[in-house]
């Protein structure tokens, strides 16, 4: 019998070879040949990013998902988002080992996305960073994780710390902070500081935004043309990871074409749609589970997801720091909870929502903290609401029986 340690060593070597991702590309393209063209771009985008990260011909920068992706492409670096990697590892059914490894080094109270990423780092599966960038906005676990990674890799860590308020002074402060962070990053990475490159990236971001807005409008159609399970997978992944890159425009334009076909033919993603649901929070469980199958069996479509709500305005490419500050401070999940509730009201109206599910991911203060307040608010408006506790990355925290009972009781509330 092959020693388990030997298998891990071989897998680690396989993961680190840039040629691995060139080898996998035609295989995965063939396996996903029946998927929509946008999904295939997502696969190519990930493989290309991993290949470049392990080849390390450009600086590799780790960042958390709430840092605007335009920053990476403006700096001309290879971005690595640990949360996305953890989601992929979980989808492949490999998250338990790294989470267990991380639990020997860090509190189990931390989000399992970051615990999974820490375990992968401890076992040397991830591409080595040249710089760590994180934002304190929304996720307080991110800075603890990136601080730990800075110690592990002996790597500089720069923090973007957006203010709580949306006051004009906050915008000026944010602009100065962004410019300072980018100058420091350029110096650390020995890269030229090119403001005009950021203008180019922001123009790309604006084009992607146009397509995202059109996609969101199409998804208001009845019946729901696009499944929420996919909205919380590769669609939100590209929203977090690709905007501003050369990949974003073809991805979003092709997805728009695909959804437009469904709307034109008046086809929903379910054979029959009785209820339209809104999914709150940015994530879902990425291991094998029955949540969306249960909802589908009850003719309940997840018509839209909070993760794909378009909250930021078009960029002014002639003022990149001001535009990036505006994107950060426009985030409806930051600041007073009334901002988020106003956005939820808009989504409920726009997508003709019958009921709302708030997925409360274990260890996520942002998702758990406002769930009860939002629930009370929606119940007062007569909108059925379910807080669904769970975990995105650790299948050991998933209770199939309890989850089914909660979902079925929730559906009964709408009947």
Q: Helices in 76-111 by DSSP H: which ranges?
A: 82-91, 96-102
Residue 137 token pair: 């906005």
Domain ranges, ordered by start, for the chain: 4-191
Q: What is the 3-state secondary structure (H, E, C) of 294-343?
A: HHHHCCEEEEEEHHHCCCCCCCCCCCHHHHHHHHHHCCCCCCCHHHHHHH
Q: In the predicted model, is pLDDT for residue 2 greater than 70?
A: no
The torsion angle over the Cα atoms of residues 18, 20, 22 and 28, rounded to 10 degrees, is -140
**Separation in Å, CA 286 to CA 112, 230, 289, 301, 394:** 12, 11, 8, 18, 9
CATH for 4-191, among 2.60.120.10, 3.40.50.11890, 3.40.50.1980, 3.40.50.300?
Answer: 3.40.50.11890
Q: In the predicted model, is pLDDT for residue 188 greater than 60?
A: yes
Q: In the predicted model, is pLDDT for residue 295 greater than 80?
A: yes
| CB burial of residue 391 (10 Å; 0-12, 13-18, 19+) | buried
**Separation in Å, CA 202 to CA 171, 172, 296, 355:** 18, 19, 39, 36
Residue 128 token pair: 């080595």
Give all strands (DSSP E) within 38-96, no chain letters: 60-63, 78-80
pLDDT of 394: 94
* pLDDT classification of 364: cutoffs 50, 70, 90: confident
Q: In the predicted model, is pLDDT for residue 89 greater than 80?
A: yes
d(CA 371, CA 166): 23
- Average pLDDT (288-309) is 97
Residues 6+ apart with CB under 8 A from 312: 209, 326, 327, 330, 331
d(CA 310, CA 191): 32
Q: In the predicted model, is pLDDT for residue 16 greater than 70?
A: yes
- Average pLDDT (267-294) is 96
- Average pLDDT (266-276) is 97
What is the rounded end-to-end Cα distance, in angstroms, of the chain?
56
Name the β-bridge partners of 305.
Answer: 279
d(CA 163, CA 176): 12
What does pLDDT average to over the chain?
94
The HSE-up count of residue 334 (CA atoms within 13 Å, CB side) is 22
pLDDT in tens, 192-217: 998 899 999 999 999 999 999 999 99
The HSE-up count of residue 98 (CA atoms within 13 Å, CB side) is 30
* pLDDT classification of 1: cutoffs 50, 70, 90: very low
Q: Are 242 and 69 in contact (CB under 8 A)?
A: yes
pLDDT in tens, 102-154: 999 888 888 999 999 999 999 999 999 999 999 998 887 888 899 999 999 99
Give the angle subtended at the CA of 295 by the CAs of 354 and 272, to the nearest 5°. Answer: 75
**Separation in Å, CA 234 to CA 184, 187, 307:** 32, 33, 11
- Average pLDDT (189-193) is 94
Cβ count within 10 A of residue 81: 21
3-state class of 75 per DSSP? helix
Q: Tell me the Cα Rg of the chain.
A: 21
The number of angstroms, rounded, from the C-alpha of 25 to the middle of its chain's C-alpha atoms is 23
* pLDDT classification of 387: cutoffs 50, 70, 90: very high
Q: In the predicted model, is pLDDT for residue 165 greater than 90?
A: no
- Of 79, 80, 86, 118, nearest to 100 by C-alpha is 118
Cβ count within 10 A of residue 6: 9
- The dihedrals phi and psi of 362, each to the nearest 5 degrees, come to -55, 130
What global pTM score does this model have? 0.95
């Amino acid at each position: 019998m092959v020693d388990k340690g030997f298998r891990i060593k071989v897998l680690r070597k396989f993961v680190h070879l840039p040629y691995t991702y060139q080898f996998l590309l035609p295989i995965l393209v063939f396996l996903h040949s029946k998927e929509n063209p946008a999904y295939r771009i997502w696969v190519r985008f990930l493989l290309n990013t991993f290949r470049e990260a392990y080849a390390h011909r450009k600086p590799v920068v780790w960042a958390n998902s709430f840092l605007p992706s335009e920053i990476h492409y403006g700096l001309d670096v290879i971005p690595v988002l640990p949360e996305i990697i953890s989601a992929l590892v979980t989808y492949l059914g490999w998250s338990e080992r790294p989470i267990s490894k991380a639990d020997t080094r860090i509190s189990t109270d931390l989000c399992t996305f970051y615990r999974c990423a820490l375990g992968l780092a401890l076992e040397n599966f991830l591409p080595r960073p040249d710089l760590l960038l994180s934002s304190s906005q929304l996720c307080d676990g991110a800075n603890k994780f990136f601080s730990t990674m800075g110690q592990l890799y002996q790597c500089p860590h720069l923090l973007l710390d957006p203010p709580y308020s949306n006051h004009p002074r906050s915008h000026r402060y944010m602009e100065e902070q962004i410019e300072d962070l980018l100058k420091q990053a350029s110096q650390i990475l020995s890269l030229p500081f090119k403001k005009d490159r950021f203008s180019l990236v922001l123009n790309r971001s604006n084009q992607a935004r146009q397509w995202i807005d059109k996609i969101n409008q199409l998804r208001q159609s009845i019946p729901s043309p696009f499944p929420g399970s996919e909205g919380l997978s590769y669609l939100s992944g590209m929203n977090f990871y690709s905007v501003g890159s050369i990949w974003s425009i073809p991805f979003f334009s092709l997805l728009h074409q695909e959804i437009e076909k469904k709307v034109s033919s008046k086809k929903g993603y379910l054979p029959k749609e009785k209820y339209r649901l809104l999914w709150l929070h940015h994530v879902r469980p990425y291991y094998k589970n029955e949540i969306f199958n249960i909802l589908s069996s009850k003719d309940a479509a997840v018509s839209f997801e909070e993760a794909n709500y378009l909250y930021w305005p078009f960029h002014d490419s002639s003022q990149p720091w001001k535009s990036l500050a505006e994107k950060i401070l426009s985030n409806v999940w930051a600041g007073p909870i009334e901002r988020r509730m106003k956005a939820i009201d808009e989504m409920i109206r726009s997508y003709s929502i019958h009921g709302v599910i708030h997925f409360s991911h274990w260890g996520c203060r942002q998702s758990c903290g406002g769930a009860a307040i939002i629930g009370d608010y929606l119940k007062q408006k007569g909108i059925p609401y379910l807080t669904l506790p769970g975990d995105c990355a650790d299948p050991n925290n998933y209770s199939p029986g309890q989850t089914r009972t909660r979902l079925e009781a929730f559906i009964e509330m709408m009947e």
